[in-house]
Amino acid sequence: MDATELSRWSRFAAKGGIGKCTALQDYVAEEPEDLMFMKDDEITVLMQLGDQEDVFLGYCEGVIGRFRASYVRIHGRLKKPIMTKRSSSAQSTSPS
């Protein structure tokens, strides 16, 4: 994950992501892209990863990584992610 993408995800996490969950157990990252957390840590859920129903991208203690839903208790329902496309230049119309 490059610095720009990391910054975007961090800002999204600060806004609450798509939901929150609490770790049910300690988890030590096995792969570089895994999220490490301790029991009772609060994790901000950022997105569901691909077609894997139980794997999510999350934010915990300033770190972003993937985790399995079976390791956490999700609070309520997760929001549907809204994809927006940012335009590189502002469009303005002037009356003729």
Cα atoms in the 13 Å half-sphere on the side-chain side of 23: 20
Number of domains in the chain: 1
pLDDT of 91 above 70: no
Which residue range forms the structural domain that includes residue 8?
3-74
Domain assignment of residue 35, yes or no: yes
Evaluate whether 44 touches 16 at the Cβ level (below 8 Å).
yes
The pLDDT assigned to 34 comes to 96
Per residue in 28-73, pLDDT (tens digit) is 999 999 999 999 999 999 999 987 789 999 999 999 999 999 999 9
CATH number of the domain encompassing residue 59: 2.30.30.40
pLDDT of 93 above 80: no
Dihedral over Cα of 36, 79, 50, 62: its sign: negative
User: Model-level pTM?
Assistant: 0.81
Q: State the burial class of residue 44 (Cβ atoms within 10 Å of its Cβ: 0-12, 13-18, 19+).
A: buried
Q: What percent of the chain has pLDDT over 90?
A: 74
